A = this chain, B = another copy of it.
Amino acid sequence: MSKVNPWGSGQITNYEKLFSEFGLERIPEEYAKKLKFRLFERGLVVAHRDFNKILARIEKEQQFINITGIATSGKLHFGHKMDIDLFVFFKQCGAKNYFGVADIDAYVSRPDSKIPNLETAKEFAIENLAHALALGLDPKDIFVQSTQGSRYFEFSHELSKKITENTYKAIYGSIDLGKISAVLLQIADILHPQLKEFEGPIPSVTGIGLEQDPHARITRDVARRLQYSLTLPSFIYFKHQGGLQKGTKMSSSEPHTAIFLSDKPEDAENKIKRKTFTGGRDTIEEQRQLGGQPNVCKVYEMYLMHYPNTKKVEDIYKTCRSGDLTCKDCKQHCAKFVKDFLVEHQKKFVKTEKVAKKIILG
Contacts and interface: CB of A to CB of B under 8 A. Distances in A.
Interface string A150-174: 1001101110110111001100001
A57 B227 CA distance: 48
A104 B176 CA distance: 22
A107 interface: yes
A149 B180 CA distance: 21
Contact of A118 (B107, B112, B158): B158
A52 interface: no
Nearest to A110: B161
Contact of A160 (B145, B146, B150, B177): B177
Nearest to A145: B154
Interface residues on chain A, size class? 20 to 34
A180 B181 CA distance: 9
Interface string A105-125: 001100010000110000000
A146 B154 contact: yes
A85 to B, nearest CB: 30
A178 interface: yes
B147 A160 contact: no
A1 interface: no
A126 B16 CA distance: 53
Contact of A150 (B148, B157, B165, B185): B148
Given A163-B177, A165-B175, A157 B117 contact: no
A161 B112 CA distance: 9
A216 B227 CA distance: 33
Interface string A26-46: 000000000000000000000
A168 B177 contact: yes
A157 B175 contact: no
Contact of A165 (B107, B108, B177, B184): B177
Contacts of A156: 153, 157
Given A117-B227, A168-B175, A174-B165, A160 B148 contact: no
Interface in A172-221: 174-178, 180-181, 184-185
Contacts of A180: 160, 177, 180
A186 to B, nearest CB: 11
Contacts of A161: 107-108, 112, 177-178, 181
B175 A160 contact: no
A168 B178 CA distance: 12
Contacts of A178: 160-161
Contacts of A163: 177
Contacts of A149: 150
Nearest to A149: B150
Given A177-B161, A177-B168, A180-B177, A154 B227 contact: no
Nearest to A165: B175
Interface in A57-84: none
6 contacts: A117-B227, A148-B153, A153-B153, A157-B181, A165-B174, A177-B184
Closest 6 CB pairs of A and B: A153-B153, A160-B181, A161-B178, A160-B177, A157-B181, A163-B177
Given A148-B153, A161-B178, 10 more contacts: A117-B227, A118-B154, A118-B158, A146-B154, A147-B150, A153-B156, A157-B184, A157-B185, A163-B177, A169-B175
